[in-house]
Structure 1
Amino acid sequence: MSRPHSLRARVAAATALGATIVVAAVGVYLALAIARNNLQQLDRRLETASRVLIVNAPAAAPFLNVLGDGGAFAVTIRNGDAVVSSTSSRLPRLEPGSHTVDVAGIPFRAFTAPLAPESTSLLSVAVPLAEAKDPTTDQQQQVALVGVLAIVAATGLGWLFGGHAVRPLVDLTQRVGRRDRDLAPAASGVREADELAAAVGTMLQDVSDAQARTATALDTARDFAAASAHELRTPLTAMRTDLEVLSTLELSDAQRIEILGDLARTQGRLEATLTALERLASGELSSEKDHIDLDLTELCDLAAEDAQRQHPGLTVTVDAPPGLVVRGLPVGLRLALDNAVTNAVRHGGARHVAIGAARADDGAVTITVDDDGAGVPEGERAAVFDRFRRGSRATKGGSGLGLALVAQQAGLHGGDARLEDSALGGARLVVTLES
């Protein structure tokens, strides 16, 4: 595989090609112009000579027959088809004007004119055409030589100036190779180089940002995995103990039923924890491009209807203005509402939940979830938003991730979550969303 050529070499080659085309076009034009000009000059000389000979034709005619021209010139006087007088090189019958004729295999350039205005006698004078062609060939060769020198000079200048022109690109390549952080163009004077530097800088910044996000995600995943492993170890140990007891000891039916019930409860806890972990992981992987415009009031109505079907005897009311549109993650916000209602029912024993939503003057949206349950002690209200942290009044079997999911979704929407006292007697969950 051949080695690719440098941009500098390509610039020089392009310059040489352009110069070749221009020089060839100009050279062809000059060659034709030189040939035409030399032929016209020869015609003018022959015309001048014919005028001199016409004036002296009566005296010169008797001597033409005996004049040896040696092929250097030819003069012929005719009267119609009859030759009155001629040099040894005889010209054929010609019409008045300039002509190229063949005399004994040699091309001649001839000029013919009448001896008098009304005369039928014509005088033709000619010289070998080589008198015009030889100087023309010499001049055309000189033009060709100058053209070749011009092409060589253009190629050299293209190489010289091409190196200067591509210098910004070479510098940019070196900076990229060194992994320089700052690739901002320094006004190189070459628009394409500046635009390329800006584009490469933006691309490298995007790559750097992506690497930073990946590193952050990996750190989060490690912490997440460590915390999950620690939290899951306890129920798994309990299940293994129960299984060992079932397999090694003679138990009564009542004892066996108790242990199997404990296993079922532990399995349910594990399942709930794994489901919550999956939802947390999905939230961590979401990005701004996943946000869409959604009707928050409609979302609250749907969450209330589903909660009443899932928890018989629960009353859920919604107080939100119609058409409250926010930009966010539909699945995430619905998950936060579902977890808030489920926590109120499962851990607070609530029978009435009120969901509210409103937009403040600064554009921020606030979601509130009030319940009439047991509430959360003031000293625990911040801690229960941590992963795997459960309040002192929480019932057994929870994963400790419900409010962590709510806090995560609030953070993904540029806001936060907190707990307060509720007018219904229980707890109030307040979630703020940035506009």
Structure 2
Amino acid sequence: MAVATALGATIVVATLATVASVVISRNNVSNLDDRLTTASQVLIPSASSLELFLDQLGSSGAFAVTIRTGDTVIASTPTQLPRLDEGSETVDVGGDRFRVYTSEAVSATNIIISIGVPAAEAQEITDDQQRWVIFGGLAAIAASTGLGWIFGGRAVRPLVTLTRQVSAQPPRSPDTSTGVKESDELAVAIAGMLERLGDAQARTTEALGTARDFAAVSAHELRTPLTAMRTDIEVLRTLDLEPPQRLEILEDLQRTQGRVEATLTALEKLASGELSSDKDRVPVDIVEICDVAAQDAMRQNPGLTVRIDSAPSLVVDALPAGLRLALDNAIINAVRHGSATDVAITVTETDSTVQIVLDDNGSGIPPAERDSVFERFYRGASATKGGSGLGLALVAQQAELHGGRARFTDSPLGGARLVLDLARGH
């Protein structure tokens, strides 16, 4: 800022100095012309008497006077001025520059008198004044630089503080109330940027942790079925089996492959749920999602009845894909592991929550297992073979993503009651 101030002052001073120098030069020449004009007006009436002692008056060389009649010089100082037109003019006389004023006396003799002084006299005055202008300009530049340094330092002090705060490890949220508008606006922008970077870093760390957990869990859960598949393949490759035996091993391979595929699919859905955020929420009609899930479940499971008990519409901010995933898994779990043929879905709301209740007439879940069944890869005592152990974990995950939880109680239909308590989105 000090350099910028000095540069600005230099430009301004240089411009003003140039203008002042021109004005001073013209003003001094104008003053000299006025003096010569006044002297001419005084000398013209006594021009005839000047002829006798011009030689003595002009011996010092401080001025020059030449009197003519027509082209004839009738009197002159030792320095004779050339014939000039009326008015002021600068001429070279014997290598010296003179400022000359020429005037003509209106009389019968037509006397023309030229009065001149060395131009150096006026130039010396001009040079002296211009030096003062230059010295004043340099002083102004120095003063501007010093003031720029002082006031600039005060002005950028909030920026220096801001730099220290941001450079700290870890970066501190900068002070946004320094009293300097530009600094405060920059601090607000940096604070927002740091907050976004922190959120992004947290999401990245969470995603990496989730990926590591899934990798470890997947390796553990897939090792057993893959080992079984390898054993079956080795038996088929090395032993000469009867057709019924080969068919049994191939069916076992197919079941194991389906289990691996179901596990990988469920793990993918769990990972997607872990990476979702509030930004993914959109206004959705929960009743419509329940109705679509019920229709699909009845189409895929002949003999299953799914009823909806709710108001015609209930719109909230939610994750539509997540809600559909939770409902599908809840119904499939009731049918596949509880042998349910009748499912009733009830949707109710309060000012702050939405509750989805699924009742079934299946075999139910023992009270001792009602919390454990929501854990990943947990299979209840009544669970059928071939499941991934992740269906209810997905239901619990989606309930948590919607600010609530999932729980089991007894159902009036004789089976299990799954309750999803969800927070209303804003």
Interval of TM-score (by shorter of Structure 1 and Structure 2): 0.7 to 0.9
**How much is the aligned-residue C-alpha RMSD, in angstroms?**
3.2
Deviations 1:297-350 (CA, angstroms, capped at 9, x unpaired): 332232222222211222233344344322222221111111111112111212
Shift of 1:38: 1.3
Query: Runs of at least 4 residues of structure 1 off by over 6 A?
Result: 116-119
Q: Is residue 27 of structure 1 aligned with residue 14 of structure 2?
A: no
| 1:3 aligned residue | none
Shift of 1:27: 0.8
- For residues 235 and 309 of structure 1, what CA distance do their matches in structure 2 show? 31
Shift of 1:278: 1.2
| 2:125 aligned residue | 135
- For residues 123 and 129 of structure 2, what CA distance do their matches in structure 1 show? 10
Shift of 1:210: 3.0
Secondary structure in 2 matching 1:347: helix
| 2:337 aligned residue | 347
Contact 1:73 1:125 in 2 (8 A): yes
Secondary structure in 1 matching 2:338: coil
Contact 1:74 1:125 in 2 (8 A): yes
| 1:396 aligned residue | 385
Secondary structure in 1 matching 2:206: helix
**CA spacing shift, 1:332–1:118, aligned 2, 3 Å:** farther
Q: Which moved more, 1:389-398 or 1:48-57?
A: 48-57
Deviations 1:201-232 (CA, angstroms, capped at 9, x unpaired): 43334333333333333333333333333333
Secondary structure in 1 matching 2:216: helix
- For residues 233 and 103 of structure 1, what CA distance do their matches in structure 2 show? 116
Secondary structure in 2 matching 1:392: coil
| 1:271 aligned residue | 261
- For residues 116 and 298 of structure 1, what CA distance do their matches in structure 2 show? 118
Identical residues among aligned pairs (%): 60
1:41 to 17, 31, 35: 31
| 2:81 aligned residue | 90
| 2:410 aligned residue | 421
Q: Is residue 379 of structure 1 aligned with residue 368 of structure 2?
A: yes
Contact 1:332 1:409 in 2 (8 A): yes
**CA spacing shift, 1:212–1:65, aligned 2, 3 Å:** closer
| 2:299 aligned residue | 309
TM-score normalised according to structure 2 size: 0.86
Shift of 1:412: 1.2
Unaligned runs of 5+ in 1: 1-10
Secondary structure in 1 matching 2:18: helix
| Aligned residue type for 1:431 | L
Q: Is residue 220 of structure 1 aligned with residue 210 of structure 2?
A: yes
| 1:111 aligned residue | 101
| 2:4 aligned residue | 14
| Aligned residue type for 1:270 | V
Contact 1:183 1:198 in 2 (8 A): no
Deviations 1:251-299 (CA, angstroms, capped at 9, x unpaired): 5544443333333222222221121111111111212222222233332
Q: Is residue 239 of structure 1 aligned with residue 219 of structure 2?
A: no
Contact 1:75 1:91 in 2 (8 A): no
| Aligned residue type for 1:314 | L
Matches within 5 A, 1:54-73: 54-64=44-54, 68-69=58-59, 71-73=61-63
- For residues 247 and 105 of structure 1, what CA distance do their matches in structure 2 show? 124
Shift of 1:167: 4.1
Shift of 1:375: 2.1
Contact 1:16 1:158 in 2 (8 A): yes
| Aligned residue type for 2:302 | P
Secondary structure in 2 matching 1:184: coil
| Aligned residue type for 1:141 | R
Shift of 1:145: 3.8
Q: Which moved more, 1:401-410 or 1:310-319?
A: 310-319
- For residues 94 and 27 of structure 1, what CA distance do their matches in structure 2 show? 34
- For residues 107 and 235 of structure 2, what CA distance do their matches in structure 1 show? 146
Q: Which moved more, 1:246-255 or 1:127-136?
A: 246-255
Deviations 1:28-50 (CA, angstroms, capped at 9, x unpaired): 12211211221122123223322
Matches within 5 A, 1:195-344: 195-246=185-236, 251-344=241-334
- For residues 55 and 198 of structure 2, what CA distance do their matches in structure 1 show? 102
Contact 1:74 1:91 in 2 (8 A): no
- For residues 311 and 78 of structure 1, what CA distance do their matches in structure 2 show? 136
Deviations 1:132-164 (CA, angstroms, capped at 9, x unpaired): 112212322332244345435544554565455
**CA spacing shift, 1:67–1:174, aligned 2, 3 Å:** closer
- For residues 205 and 394 of structure 1, what CA distance do their matches in structure 2 show? 46
| Aligned residue type for 2:322 | G
Unaligned runs of 5+ in 2: none
- For residues 329 and 383 of structure 1, what CA distance do their matches in structure 2 show? 25
| Aligned residue type for 1:258 | E
In the alignment of these two chains, the number of paired residues is 423
Shift of 1:84: 5.2
- For residues 63 and 341 of structure 1, what CA distance do their matches in structure 2 show? 136
Matches within 5 A, 1:124-163: 124-155=114-145, 158-159=148-149, 162-163=152-153
- For residues 313 and 96 of structure 2, what CA distance do their matches in structure 1 show? 105
- For residues 369 and 120 of structure 1, what CA distance do their matches in structure 2 show? 132
Secondary structure in 2 matching 1:418: strand
